[in-house]
Structure 1
């Protein structure tokens, strides 16, 4: 039986959860959708690919665009804080950059552990085991909050730790003040990231975009008042940033708990969320290691810049380039989220061909966008630095780093999407090993040799970072190409059954 474009466009769009009673629930493969198109033998191959692309592109952009906005706003909140700090003074910019880099330790940890929720909730939603999602959310929040306690103690002693790392005394002191104002964010991360993954697994991303946008506007307004009217300096900037994160947390929590849309995935607080905490911790540990090793990589390079000649200049130019790179990276992370959602949902639903098709569609689209970003970056290379600072020396150093920055942007168009596929499939532990080898045995050592031994300074450090990222990207491309997606479907089914067979099950 042939499949028309009109039929395809009306179906397979991951529908928002409506009342899925036993009589109303349908398996995704019963719909005429992406899997049906890709397996329709009566259609020519090119026609199947065209119809599949029509479906997948709609799904992809419907998920990716709001996710991109959310991640851009989250990154933009840190960047706007740096901008405000930079307009106080160059030393304040260096301190805020150093403090932000240090705080990425806990940011990466919380975001990584939250990725376990993304895998489990995404596959459970695809398999229509809706009542499991709320327990996963609560259990993850508890585990992340417990992990946040020792991290709070660690950041309390940030000043002596920065001195032990060899950072300049003045910058370390100001950076520790900035970090002190960020400490309450640790527990905001614990709630925010798990709530985001809970929503994303159900393809609900637009409300988070509205909430994040409102929080960013609030932060900019309060930061302006804090700096220009009240004159609070770095501590004021940090406290405003923390308040903005907690505004997002409260808004998302109210949206989930008070919205009838989630009455089948959020059934209220449950004592079952305290069961299997250690098992969930072990599961999320692989996710945390994968994300942390990746996020800490660039931040370690910023810390190394503090050991170069003229550390203030090196820190300033590298932090500005990192800020620009992170904006581009957030676009790819939006596709990362979309790829993870699509892959986990399709694997949970048993649609192996759809999972494969979604993977390569998201990767291709993100790569094309990254090429356009790199070209725009090179065209504006002489002006980018002045957005962050009025120091001409810093702006010139940023301009000289732009070719390396453009190469990084292109690689970032591929690698994050493949990492999203890894999260959707549950490959976090494997990717963690890849990250260790590529980043910490190749990227950082090469960067140190080029930066210090060959005296290439910031250029050398950045070149080493590119080398590690390139190696990781090639490995992930190869592994994804060689994946047996039918086996991945079976693994997803066993993973859900394993959690369901234990007393973690929610079905009465």
Structure 2
């Protein structure tokens, strides 16, 4: 990626600063040790890579394991809300599913994507020991995401006519409207949570978020039960509890940032500097959002296309089970995505090109091995795996028929999200967004529609076509990562980290 032409940016991203290192300096020491080992040509090659792998594995799993746990807890909170809604009635279940998987997933993808800009900038700033700017970037991102939340609120308010326009019945759309109204506060929790999450991850502070999320999940389940069964507040009540739970996570993490000694150098209070450079920060945030949203919406379109088949109920039931399984396994990949982003951005900021490249290799190989094992388990249990979700033998047979495609998707999802994390760590979001448009929406979806409808292959044909798009995207990202000049990436990182003036320009990857 170092060979691509940069865009000119007119605003400083990270001014140089001289501050004492925070308490997590041991992470920098490990990073320095890793670079020294990889650069030591006197060591035998096997010994060099054995030592380097051990250090990298410790750094990687320290980040990935809590991140996987946090994403799974978030997933469980939404799922438990749907479960409680389902016990209110079939209409309520349909409404909560539509609200969560339709309206809410749109906001989640957009907000998480925009928050990923903090991963690039905070990660590289932390690696370069420019600690005071991390808090500025946290505030800057929170401001932009809050403004975005105001726009998204309009979508939530007018969700009923939107859903009716998309073909939903008035009865389900009306019930979904009530559920979605309770999720409006959640939008603004997203606006604060995702920048905070990335701010902490950039410093390798991951365990507090895991503890806070675990405690919040317990509170969420209890409150949902009370609201649904004891207070009789229905759909609005359970969705408001979900919003409240997200705010509990936000407040808990913010209190940790303010009170913890580990953040005393990176968080120095609120600053008016957060309002400067917003247009340029928005550019990177938007590229991050487009990159992630194109991925998030891709498999939502698979479900929508399946609903147009001749026997949509069977297709949707089997795909719902497959996507649920894929969603759980995907949480593992997302955790490694976060680890890859932090590791690469930290190493680039620390001027460690060899460590950055080595981190990419290790995290990709580990994620692939885990995904391979998950795919093997899915294939081994293909005839019984659907009975976790339903007792229907017809659906079980359909799921079993789709399991080879599910296994292949899980395998690809072991690589693709990790490489996307590398892209975020390097600041390649805009480039990956273009790749996603071409592979997903120019190749994958049209190919899937052609196989599914014209060649009468049904859900399997649609899925095969979309796997083709994912495979093409993965191959491109592997090739680009393989061809990357990591010394040039360090230079690009340093350009972002230098203070600008009227005669100096800072570049972002396009």
Same fold, judged at TM 0.5 (above): yes
- 1:67 matched residue in structure 2: 67
CA distance in structure 2 between the aligned counterparts of 1:180 and 1:458, rounded to whole angstroms: 33
Find the counterpart in structure 2 of residue 54 from structure 1: 54
User: Is 1:29–1:36's contact at 8 Å kept on the other side of the alignment?
Assistant: no
**Deviation sequence 1:318-339 (CA, Å, 0-9, x none):** 3332222111111011111111
1:475 and 2:476 matched = yes
Decide whether the 8 Å contact of 1:370 with 1:412 is kept in 2: yes
Aligned-residue offset at 1:438: 0.8
- Residue 123 in 1 paired to residue 137 in 2? no
Q: Could you tell which deviates more after superposition, 437-446 or 479-488?
A: 437-446
State yes or no: 1:191 paired with 2:192.
Answer: yes
**Conserved 8 A contact 1:104-1:299:** no
Q: 1:126 touches 1:347 (CA, 8 Å); kept in 2?
A: yes
1:28 shift after superposition? 4.9
CA distance in 1 between partners of 2:431 and 2:468 (Å): 20
SS of residue in 1 equivalent to 2:182: helix
- Assess if the C-alpha contact under 8 Å between 2:31 and 2:347 holds in 1: no
Which residue does the alignment assign to 2:163?
162
Work out whether 1:237 is the aligned partner of 2:268: no
Report whether the alignment pairs 1:339 with 2:350.
Answer: no
Q: 1:106 to 1:30 in 2, by over 3 A?
A: closer
Aligned to 1:370: 371
Call closer, same or farther: CA 1:179–1:451 in 2, change over 3 Å: farther
- Residue 264 of structure 1 and its aligned partner are, at CA, apart by 0.8
Q: Distance in 1 between matches of 2:76 and 2:249?
A: 14
> More deviation in 440-449 or 354-363?
440-449
Tell me the CA shift for residue 231 of structure 1: 4.9
Q: What do the CA deviations read for 1:139-174 (whole angstroms, capped 9, x no partner)?
A: 100000001111110121112212222334444443
Structure 1 position 85, deviation (Å): 4.2
**Gap regions ≥5 residues in structure 1:** 1-18
Q: How far apart are the structure 1 equivalents of 2:27 and 2:200? A: 21
In structure 1, the partner of 2:44 is 44
The alpha-carbon distance between structure 1 residues 431 and 478, as it changes in their structure 2 partners (threshold 3 A), is same
SS at match of 1:337: helix
Change (3 A) 1:32 1:447: closer
Report the Cα distance in structure 1 between the residues aligned to 2:27 and 2:58, rounded to whole angstroms. 21
Give secondary structure in 2 for the equivalent of 1:33: helix
1:61 match: secondary structure: helix
How far the C-alpha of 1:395 sits from its partner, in A, is 4.8
Report 1:295-444 matches (<5 A): 295-389=296-390, 393-444=394-445
Distance 1:311 1:161 in 2: 22
In structure 2, how many angstroms separate the alpha carbons of the residues matched to 1:88 and 1:127? 53
Query: 1:486/1:139 Cα in 2 relative to 1: closer, same or farther (>3 Å)?
Result: same
Secondary structure of 2:341's aligned partner: helix
**Which residue does the alignment assign to 1:207?**
208
Instruction: Check 1:277–1:32 CA distance in 2 against 1; reply closer, same or farther (3 A cut).
Output: closer
CA contact (8 A) 1:91 1:312 kept: no
Q: How many residues align?
A: 485
Report if aligned partners of 2:72, 2:331 keep a CA contact under 8 Å in 1.
yes
- The answer to whether the 8 A contact 2:111-2:289 is kept is yes
CA contact (8 A) 1:377 1:402 kept: yes
Superposed CA RMSD = 2.7
Q: How much has 1:382 moved relative to structure 2? A: 4.2
155-164 or 431-440: which moved more?
Answer: 155-164
Superposed counterparts of 1:260-299, under 5 Å: 260-299=261-300
Q: Cα offset for 1:466?
A: 1.4
Q: CA deviation at 1:287?
A: 0.9
1:373/1:45 CA distance change after superposition, 3 Å: same
Does 133-142 or 32-41 show the bigger shift? 32-41
**Alpha-carbon deviation of 1:496?**
1.2
Structure 2, gaps ≥5 residues long: 1-18
- For residues 264 and 499 of structure 1, the distance between their equivalents in structure 2, rounded to whole angstroms, comes to 23
CA deviation after TM superposition for structure 1 residue 87, in Å: 5.2
TM score, norm. by length of structure 1: 0.88
- 1:7-39 Cα distance to aligned partner (Å, 9 max, x none): xxxxxxxxxxxx9269x9899589751000001
Residue equivalent to 1:138: 139
CA shift, 1:225, in A, is 3.4
Distance 2:177 2:382 in 1: 32
Q: Which residue of 2 aligns with 1:96?
A: 96
Moved more, 65-74 or 179-188: 179-188
Asked if the contact 2:149–2:187 (Cα under 8 Å) also holds between the matched residues in 1, the reply is: yes
Contact 1:447 1:464 survives alignment (8 Å)? yes
Asked if 2 retains the 8 angstrom alpha-carbon contact of 1:168 and 1:306, the reply is no
Which whole-Å CA distance do the structure 1 matches of 2:386 and 2:92 have between them? 16
Of residues 394-403 and 368-377 in structure 1, the stretch that sits farther from structure 2 once superposed is 394-403
Partner of 2:250: 249
Q: CA deviation at 1:270?
A: 0.8
Distance 1:201 1:500 in 2: 27
- Compare 24-33 and 377-386 and name the one that shifted more: 24-33
Flag the structure with more relative contact order, 1 or 2, with Cα contacts below 8 A and sequence separation at least 6: 2
Using the alignment, how far apart are the partners of 2:317 and 2:229 within structure 1?
23
Corresponding residue number in structure 1 for 2:3:
none
Deviates more, 1:379-388 or 1:107-116: 379-388
Are 2:132 and 2:266, in contact at CA under 8 Å, matched by a contact in 1? yes
Tell whether the 8 Å contact from 2:107 to 2:152 is kept in structure 1 after alignment. Answer: yes
Contact kept? 2:329, 2:374, Cα under 8 Å = yes
Matching residue of 1:14: none
Task: State the 1:420 CA deviation.
Answer: 0.4
- 1:72 deviates by 1.3
Are 1:450 and 2:415 matched, yes or no?
no
